[in-house]
Chain A
Amino acid sequence: MSILFKNARLIDPEARTETTGDLFVQDGVIAAVGDTPDTADQVVDCRGKHLAPGIVDIGVKICEPGERHKESFRTAGLAAAAGGVTTIVTRPDTLPSIDTPETLEFVTRRGREASPVNIRPMATLTKGREGREMVEIGFLLDAGAVAFTDGDRVTTDTKVLSRAMTYARSLGAVIIAHPQDPGLSRGAAVTSGKFASLRGLPAVSAMAERMALDRDIALVEMTGVAYHADQITTARALPALERAKNNGHDVTAGVSIHHLTLNELDVGDYRTFFKVKPPLRSEDDRIACVEAVKTGLIDIICSMHTPQDEESKRLPFEEAASGAVGLETFLPAVLRLVHAGDIALPDLWRAMSFNPAARFGLPGGRLAVGAPADLVLFDADAPFVLDRTKLHSKSKNTPFDGARLQGRVLSTYVGGDCVYTKD
């Protein structure tokens, strides 16, 4: 089975180029780029639209096991396909959490049987995410764990953390942490500043992120572990990140699409769909993070897809659950930065596909011969107004409801199979 994509704007995130050309797929693998055969079993005329490697999304919460009413592998997979995400790396902060090879096996199996896109699981770093005992890192790696993270829980006991890091290093496992000082951020719903004070909401200083990152980097220096900060969202944390990288430590960082496109003022009159973790930051912080993505200081953009049902969100702001869905809105949201002229498409795409795949040793993320044909064809300019009720996710908690967005996925391919076509 072969497919020929003709007249495409090919985005190559590895080479950071955008060129017009053809792409040939043979048996689920990219077989030729540019210099392609003239015919194939199936010919797709891309009409000058963009063809790129599918998005690799790190840190997606799928609420199986435990809260399937919020999201299942099926619905998350459909949302991902509709959003151009071809590989989902799942978070282990489920009920129960994914901290044994047996539960990891459940995730892998459910992902395989229910989702049209690739599902790769992460495991917790400590048992039950309690920050006391490390999980069976070796067994979990063998079972296919991509990385180890306690999600948004910070391991406060540095003895436990340093041992887990030392052990992880010996096996070459990557650890993902959520840099947020637990003391300063306790009970916080927004970032401190004028807006927080006007609304009377409990707030955390932006400094809490840098404090935690500083601590983690010291531990990385001590243990030599491969470390990824899930979300760096403040200007103050960036110099610390840059220093760690310049000093040759194996440190990378991510940022959520929400922190790149929204700021604290979007909360407005207590709109709980804008309550995320860490909280939305100031406009200055947002601009600094966009710039950091552009320069490559921040390596990875993720959706931080966190489904919450209506009941968890229809509460006073302080009591409402954190998180926003993002799989399906990832692409149009991120294109806001391109349309605003902040960043070029290939640079952006590097942070959405090539970098996460390379960092976590996943096969996708490249537009090169031999890479799996995980592809997304999209119209970067198509305007639309987002209607949250139309999202494929079971939970509809998107901050972009009613937003005017530009950029729609036309079709998504996983291993050469078409898993989504816009009707």
Chain B
Amino acid sequence: MTFRQKHLLGIEPLHPEEIRTILDLADTYVDLNRSPTKHSDALAGMTQINMFFENSTRTQASFELAGKRLGADVMNMAMQASSIKKGETLIDTALTLNAMHPDLLVVRHPHSGAVDLLSQKVNCAVLNAGDGRHEHPTQALLDALTIRRAKGRLHRLNIAICGDIAHSRVARSNILLLHKMENRIRLVGPPTLMPSGISHFGVEVYDDMREGLKDVDVVMMLRLQKERMDGGFIPSEREYYHRYGLDAEKLAYAKDDAIVMHPGPMNRGVEIDGEIADDINRSVIQEQVEMGVAVRMAAMDLLARNLRDAGDKGVWV
């Protein structure tokens, strides 16, 4: 078993072996979560604080549940309403919380790099629950687990990531992870929603969705933020749906057994047709939610082990 990280700030610093370690452990937690007891003491005595500087329902719930199932004391800080509004800086907030001796800090922040900055100022393990447009590592890990369980492997797959790549931290983490695991990645979307320098990412870029989906094993849809639909990046919602919305006709270009994924929350009728989202033969969207809890349990368990080892050795204090 290999996992040497102190924090989980992104996919970028992870070694493929570490990714496998998380996914393998997550598999065991899927079994636990499906059993009647649903409980372990892996994090017993530990304190987990969830700090979400940006609205979130599902990710926060998933982290909270993951912590509770492992026996941690979980606290949710409503950062939207808190002292940050009173002018306190991120660093001061971090130092204040650090003084309460948490073991695990789960952070989401609207600015890229903010979680990284915070991790430098505290001495507990920090998990990035999404920072700006940078990374969302647990989402990529849960997507990877979902793919591995559905396809039986996580390498040499053709995977299309579709939609608003430019503003998506989910896309960045997924590109990094799937690349490390040696898959072929295609990015599909209008050029206004592609990040700059994309030709250097080792991916194939398509602005025609039918071409982009041809013979792929996995179709990953991304959420299109409402505020991007105002004519600034795309002309209109209906034109976007016409050209880039996933419907049965476009999905037919993918392999017959291709799976459809979406990180949620979905805009039905904008980026994905409702019937496809609900098609239990194609859509693994509900599985993604289930895998999310297991992956977060695994990640926190591994970080807690490293934290305890470091504590035993007298470092990181």
Q: Which of A199, A203, A311, A314 contacts B113 (CB 8 A)?
A: A199
Asked if B169 and A200 make an inter-chain contact with CB atoms under 8 angstroms apart, the answer reads yes
Q: Which residues of the other chain, B, contact A314 by a CB distance below 8 angstroms?
A: 89, 91, 117
User: What would 15 more interface pairs be, CB under 8 Å, given A205-B196, A315-B117, A318-B111?
Assistant: A192-B196, A193-B197, A196-B195, A197-B166, A197-B198, A197-B201, A199-B112, A199-B113, A200-B131, A201-B113, A269-B116, A270-B117, A316-B113, A317-B111, A318-B112
**A195 an interface residue at 8 Å Cβ cutoff?**
yes
The interface size of chain B toward A, counting residues with CB under 8 Å, comes to 25
Q: Which of B12, B109, B133, B201 contacts A316 (CB 8 A)?
A: B109
Given A194-B200, A200-B133, A311-B89, check contact A317 B112 (CB 8 Å): yes
Q: Which residues of the other chain, A, contact B109 by a CB distance below 8 angstroms?
A: 316
Given A315-B89, A316-B90, A318-B132, check contact A197 B197 (CB 8 Å): yes
B128-143 residues with Cβ-Cβ distance < 8 A to A are 131-135
**B150 an interface residue at 8 Å Cβ cutoff?**
no
- Please, which residue of chain B has its CB at the minimum distance from the CB of A198? B172
Asked if A194 and B201 make an inter-chain contact with CB atoms under 8 angstroms apart, the answer reads yes
Q: Which residues of the other chain, A, contact B42 by a CB distance below 8 angstroms?
A: none
**B114 an interface residue at 8 Å Cβ cutoff?**
yes
Question: How distant is the Cα of A111 from the Cα of B116 in the complex, in angstroms?
Answer: 41
Q: Which residues of the other chain, A, contact B114 by a CB distance below 8 angstroms?
A: 316
What are the interface flags for A181-198 relative to B under an 8 Å C-beta threshold, 1 for contact and 0 otherwise?
A: 000000000001111111
Q: Which residues of the other chain, A, contact B166 by a CB distance below 8 angstroms?
A: 197
Can you pick out 14 interface pairs between chain A and chain B where the beta carbons lie within 8 Å of each other?
A: A192-B197, A195-B197, A196-B197, A197-B166, A197-B197, A197-B201, A200-B131, A200-B135, A201-B133, A203-B196, A270-B116, A311-B89, A317-B113, A318-B132
Q: Using a Cβ cutoff of 8 Å, how many contacts connect chains A and B?
A: 72
Q: Which residues of the other chain, A, contact B132 by a CB distance below 8 angstroms?
A: 200-201, 316, 318
- Distance between A16 CB and nearest chain B CB, rounded to angstroms: 39
- Distance between A184 CB and nearest chain B CB, rounded to angstroms: 12
Question: How distant is the Cα of A316 from the Cα of B134 in the complex, in angstroms?
Answer: 12
**A102 an interface residue at 8 Å Cβ cutoff?**
no
Q: Which residues of the other chain, B, contact A269 by a CB distance below 8 angstroms?
A: 113, 116
Q: Which residues of the other chain, B, contact A317 by a CB distance below 8 angstroms?
A: 111-113
Q: Which residues of the other chain, A, contact B112 by a CB distance below 8 angstroms?
A: 199-201, 270, 316-318
- Distance between B114 CB and nearest chain A CB, rounded to angstroms: 4
Question: How distant is the Cα of A319 from the Cα of B109 in the complex, in angstroms?
Answer: 12
Which of B113, B166, B198 has the most CB atoms of chain A within a 10 A radius of its CB? Answer: B113
Asked if B134 and A199 make an inter-chain contact with CB atoms under 8 angstroms apart, the answer reads yes
